[in-house]
Every structure is written in C-alpha cells, then in structure tokens.
Amino acid sequence: MYHDYKNIQTEEFMNSWFSKKWTDHESFNIYVANPFCLKKCNYCIYNPIVRKIDSKDYKKYYNEYLPKQIEKFKPILEMKTPDTIYFGGGTASFMTAETMKAIFDAIPNFKDIKLKNFECHPILMTDKKIKTLIDYNFTYVSYGIQSMSREIINEQNRFFYDIPKIKKQLEVFKKNDIITNCDLLAYMETGRNSDLDTLKTDLAELNKKIMPDVITIYPMYQRLKSNIHSYSNANHNYKKIYGLRKTLKEFVEKSNYNSNDSQLSLEKGKIISAGMVNYFLLNISEKKFISVRKYNSSGYPQVPSNQNVLALGGLYDHSPYSYLGKKKYWKMINDNWELRIKEKIS
C-alpha cells in the first residue's frame, strides 16, 4: 500500500508525544533497530546491512548514532516508563555483550521496563550475551531458527547452527524465568504445498530436540499474493493457508503444544480474512504468553489503536517507524548519520 509522507522537524515530532493524552488501556513501547547482519538471507524482506562486527559502520552506529538518538529523545523516554522494549533486526544479537550493556545503560530507567524482548541469531549467542540479558531482566528471547534442515538453510544463504547448543542456551533462559521462542518459516523451500512436509519435520524436530516455550510460524510472505482479498489471489492463498493451518492443527493434536482454536480455524471465511497472520504454538499457558507479548510490531495500517511506539535507530534503507496509535505514523530515517523524520499524510 502506497502512502504520501512529508518531512517534519524533530521538535514537531516531540511535541506530538508531549501533547499525548494517555489512557489506562494504552501502551508505550520502544523499538530499537539493529540493522546489521552477517549475511543477507535469500528470503529476507527487511533491508539488512551486511557488515562485520566492529566494522566502521558498526562502531559509528552503536557508539555515536544510536546513543545520540537516545539522548535526543530522553524527554520522551522519561515522561512515562515504557511498558515494553523490543530489540529487533537485522540481528539484535549482532551486538557484542559490551555494546548491549552500553545501549541498555543509555536508556533511562531501563531496569524499570517490565517487558523486554530480544531477537537472536543462534550462531551469535554467547554465554556473556545470555548473562547480560539475564542481568538486565529480559523477559522474552526469540531465536531465528527458520528451518531445522541444514540443506534448506544453506540454500537460503543462512548460517546453520549447533542444535544441542541452542537447547542448552534456552534451558538457561528458562531457569531464569525468561520465555523462549523459536521462529520457523513456512513455504521457504519452493513455495509449493509440498513444503508442508518439511514444516512437519521441522516442528517434530524442534519439539524433540529444543522444545522452546513458544514456536512462531511465519508464512513466507513472498510466496503469498500481496492482497488475499482480491478475487484473483484469494483461491491461491486459501489453499496454502488451509494446508498450513491443517498441518499446525495436526501437530498440536499429537504434541504438548497448544494454540488458540480460532487461530487455526479451517473455516474459509476466517482464512480469507486473516491471510497474512503469524501462528503461535505454546508450551506455556496462553495467559502467560499474552503477559509477555503485549507489543505487536506491526506496520501501517495494522498497528493496534492502543499501541504507541517510539523507534530508535535505523541505517540506510533500514528505517523503523514510530507511531501514536493510528493517529500519527512516522518513518525514522538515518540521512547520512543525521535523523530525518517523515510523517505519513492522512
């Protein structure tokens, strides 16, 4: 969906936040963009910046640009304790443990934020990084597994990982009351319904060898037509999503994982109306899951009306967004290492 934007001054952006009238049912969320990756996976749609750790861009970003932006928005960060903070990617675990500590310490009242989420690439996690997340009271960590198949991972230009090592790491998090999640991608292999056989194997292997608290399944959006509601695309997507939900239902029925019944409904109307949703399989109670996943990192126009997000960071084509419910929506652009803010025109 195309939208028009206009450049605005930082003061105008900040005044929108200062004039915000908060209600009890609204949340204040921080999103921290971590734009770097060691490789660009073939399936990726998020404009990652491929660099080495401690490269020139890495140092300038984490030592200068991001701390400067945190300082600039300190009045917003101090006016109300955020409900959640989310470190997304690129690859959040690209940061060294020392960089993580420096960024965490730069954010006002960081330890008072109750819900803290962190995205991890399995090969980049170390004992020092795990200890750092525990010491700073993180509540949810997500590992980008995508597939348990070494062949598929290699074909997608992604690093494979040590599965026993991941299991040990997740056990450490669990012992410290941190909810663990592993992501899988559906239709990553060829985009055909036959890929569901791979997904069945991935789910069985993940259940047997790692057993995270949550398994999140993302339909590979490039394999789906962009608008499921159009007549030409509905049937194409319906068959794929029906097959995906059926596969997940069968897994739930024979494993310790559960899911909200409506999420896996096979009714055609419900499939057509929710074609691009993600699927959460839980090895914990739904109540506990909801308590730690209150922030929904959605793009316009799917942003929840009760959610308010201040985005920090961004580099080159990797531009995160800030928003005040559905009323205000901004792109946060790193323009030659200076912040430029573009507001969506209503």
Q: Render pLDDT for 115-160 as a digit per residue (tens, 0 to 9).
A: 999 999 999 999 999 999 999 999 999 999 999 999 999 999 999 9
Average pLDDT over residues 25-40: 94
Q: Render pLDDT for 225-247 as a digit per residue (tens, 0 to 9).
A: 544 444 455 566 788 889 999 99
| Under 8 Å between Cβ of 144 and 39 | no
Q: Render pLDDT for 287-316 as a digit per residue (tens, 0 to 9).
A: 999 999 887 766 666 778 899 999 999 999
